[in-house]
Structure formats: C-alpha cells, structure tokens
Amino acid sequence: MSNVGATSEVGTLRTVLLHRPGPELRRLTPRNNDQLLFDGVPWVARAQEEHDAFAQALRDRGVEVLHLDRLLTEVLDFPAARAELIAAAVDDPRLGTTLQRATAAHMGDLAPEDLARTLIAGLAHDELRADGLAYRLLTPGEFVVPPLPNLLFTRDSSVWVGDEVAVTSLAMPARSRESTITAAVYTHHPRFAGVEQLYGAHLEHLEGGDVLLLAAGVVAVGVGERTTPGGAERLARQVFSRGLAHTVLVVPIAQQRATMHLDTIATMVDVDAMVMYPAVADSLVAWTVTCQTGAEDADDLELTVRGPAPFLAAAAEAMGIDRLRVIDTGLDPVTAEREQWDDGNNTLAIAPRVAVAYERNTVTNAALEAAGIEVVRIAGSELGSGRGGPRCMSCPISRDRL
C-alpha cells in the first residue's frame, strides 16, 4: 500500500480507521459496564447516530473513512486469519478444553460477516449449544467470548509512526483481544500488503492514546495507567532502530481514570500549538530519550536519557521551535476540570489549525477559535460514556507530510 503513514498529529488527514459502535455496546449493563471500562450504559442508537455524523464530518473534509468491522469481515475470508482470531477468542482459562473446542467449532462454522460480529460483540452462554463441566457451571447470561465495546476507540490498538504501524499491547484485560483483531487486519488485508509492523501485542504495555507525533522525528509517549515505562522504552528502541524518530519524550502522567492517556490532557491542533489541561501544564515533565549508537538490533542500542525537564520546554527543543503554544482547556478551574473529563483536550486535527471536537465543550472550543483554530463540532453525549473523544475514536492511516 502506498501513501500510508503519519509523521505528525496535524498534517492533512487523508485516510482514517474508525469503528462504528454496534451490538457490542448492547452487551453493556449496570452490572458489567465498569468491568468493560464504560462509565455508563449508552443509548446505542444515539451513539450510532453520533458516530455516523462524525464519520460524515470527516468525509465532508475529504477524508477517506475505513471501518474496522468491514476490514475484519474481508480478512476472515483467509483461513490463516480465521484460525488466528478464533484461537485468540477462545484462549481463556475460564473455559477449559471442552468448552474451548466447542466454541472454536461453533465459530469456525460461521460466515465471515457473522464471525466478525461474534468476535466483536462476543458470545454468551445461551447463544452456544455445548456441554461439559465449564459450560454447565457458567450462568446463562455469562460471556463465553466477552464483547469488545472499547473497539470504538481505534486509536489505542494501533498507531502509525512514519510508514510503519505499531500494533499495541493493551493493558486492561477487557481490551487485550482488540489488538488481535487489529493485527489480523494489518497482516492479512490486501490493503496493507507490505506494511511493516514495528510493535506487537506480546510486548510491554503500550497504548496508542499515549503516543503523540509532535513533529517529524519527535514522538511523545505518556506513561501512566495504561502504558508502562518498559513499553515507552521498547517503542523508543523500535523507532530508533528503524530510523522513524530521533527523539522520544517520555511523559509521566497521573494513573487515574480521568487521565488514562496522554491525549486526555493534551493534543496537537497546529504545528506549534496544543490544547492542554491547565492543571497539569506547569507540572508536566518529560524525559528526553535519544539514541547514542546505531546498533542493528534494537535491544543493543545505547539510549541517552536526559531530564526530567518541563514538558513544554523539552518538546519545543526537540521540535526545533522557540516555544509550543498552549490553548487552555476551559477558562476557570471548575470548567477546566469538567471539560477535561468530557474530552475537551481530546481533539482530532484534520489539518493544521482545523480540529474535530465534541460540541459540549463550549468554553474550550471558544478558546480554540480565539487562537485561530477552526473547530468542527460533533455530538458525543453517548459516545463519551467510554471516556474518549474524537482522537480516541480515530486511527489516522495516512496524513500529508508537513
């Protein structure tokens, strides 16, 4: 595939990967929504309407929109992809050998579209005809294959750095199987033939929401609830060894729900500007990691680590600019906290000085416009129940180089 990849957060967006929410969201109940990482039970039909409007807003700006479930259906025509994904779906110690085999046989008989739906929406006990000890001990509504409602947030399970894609290692058990789907699509779909994968789900925890492409050759990686220090170091070694970056900024963030990823507190909206949660703007620090030697093996690279230094200063130095402009979330501390919780920081730049944002963050959006940023507003009252905004819901596959 030609013309893929990204070297920044703000180059004109050409192709993006989305996932339209579907029956997997209908699996959410007040009993399981916390375990499945949602703060509430969304109104699914409205969430779909909001997502359709988001996708259309991107198309209206000339962006090609790819849907993950459609790509998945297409790769399930390939026996190797089917085998990999079914094996991953039944790889669960709760099930035992008998139920694993019965579930795999059931899934193996499904047509590609039905199998794709099952891999995403899951399979409940009462939807499967089986026998054996484990099957009898499961309750009727219990999941044999759990659903993947967070697949909506396509940013997390893969991220492009240059012309290579990092299939990430998701930290939360409810999300770990998402990466198997993403990896299968990138490995088997003809659209991505020849694309190199620079990371894998078997490696240290790393999530795409923690990865910001500040400028060509400059990558920031948040370390907190989802991405580990080992994941940040592994990504640094990978991008250095492949010549995809010269500097990686490792940014510790609070390990809590409101700041689960770096992109929940800061996102780029121009080549030299970001919207940032003011409560952390002065306290955020970064360790600057560079590569001292050019060893062939990534594990043998000698890394140089400097810091910590104030994040904004370290970022500007690495980017080769005088300073990084900051547009505050909100206007006062209370509004800032509310709009940060409602993903006011989580914007998706579709070109320099053009960003998609949730309409409800009125104060932050006004501040963006006052700073010269065009805001493309979308609804997100139901989409936001999983704690993610426009950036979380999108994986750029192709951006223009700046």
The predicted-structure confidence for 54-99, as pLDDT tens digits, reads as follows: 999 999 999 999 999 999 999 999 999 999 999 999 999 999 999 9
- Residue 393 belongs to what domain range? 13-20+31-68+149-399
4 occurs within a structural domain: no
Structure token pair of residue 151: 């697949």
Phi, psi of 62 (to 5 degrees): 85, 15
Residue 51 lies in a domain: yes
> Tokens 């012309």 correspond to what residue?
163
Does residue 156 have a pLDDT over 80? yes
Q: Pick the last residue of a domain from 101, 117, 145.
A: 145
Q: Are 126 and 260 in the same domain?
A: no
Q: Which tokens is 233 given?
A: 């170091």
**Rounded percentage of the chain residues whose pLDDT exceeds 90:** 68
Going by C-beta distance under 8 Å and a sequence separation of 6 or more, which residues neighbour residue 395? 16, 17, 18, 154, 155, 157, 158, 159, 160, 208
Residue 242 DSSP label: T
Residues belonging to the chain: 402
pLDDT given at position 27:
87
264 and 336 share one domain? yes
Alpha-carbon dihedral sign for residues 383, 6, 189, 204: negative
Candidates 57, 76, 356, 392; catalytic one: 392
In a domain, 189, yes or no: yes
332 within domain boundaries: yes
- CB-based contact 206:234 (threshold 8 Å): yes
Each residue of 293-340: pLDDT tens digit? 666 788 888 899 998 999 999 999 999 999 999 998 876 677 767 656
81 and 194 assigned to the same domain: no
Last residue of a domain, one of 82, 110, 145: 145
Chosen domain end from 88, 119, 145: 145
Catalytic-residue membership of 392: yes
Give phi and psi for 267, each to the nearest 5: -140, 150
Q: What pLDDT sits at residue 363? A: 86
Q: Assess whether 242 and 130 both reside in one domain.
A: no
Whether residue 249 sits in one domain with residue 234: yes
Q: Do residues 115 and 62 both lie within one domain?
A: no
Q: Which pLDDT value is given to residue 256?
A: 60
Name residues whose C-beta falls within 8 Å of residue 397's C-beta, 6 or more positions apart in sequence: 4, 5, 6, 14, 15, 16, 17, 66, 160
Both 61 and 86 in a single domain?
no
Domain assignment present for residue 171? The answer is yes
**CA–CA separation, 372 and 255 (whole Å):** 33
24 DSSP 8-state letter:
T
Question: How many whole angstroms separate alpha carbon 119 and alpha carbon 89?
Answer: 7
- Asked whether 341 and 258 are in contact (CB, 8 A), the reply is yes
pLDDT at 258 over 70: no
As a whole number, mean pLDDT of residues 108-128 equals: 94
Model pLDDT for residues 201-230, shown as the tens digit of each residue: 999 999 999 999 999 999 999 998 889 999
Name the least confident of 4-18, 141-155, 243-257: 243-257
Query: Residue 228 forms beta bridges with which residues?
Result: none
Task: Specify if 250 maps to a domain.
Answer: yes
Backbone dihedral angles phi then psi of residue 153, each to the nearest 5 degrees: -95, 75
Structure tokens at 280: 């952390």
CATH of the domain at 219: 3.75.10.10
If one compares 375 and 30, the residue with the highest pLDDT of the two is 375
Number of domains in the chain: 2
* CA separation for the pair 260, 44 (Å, rounded): 24
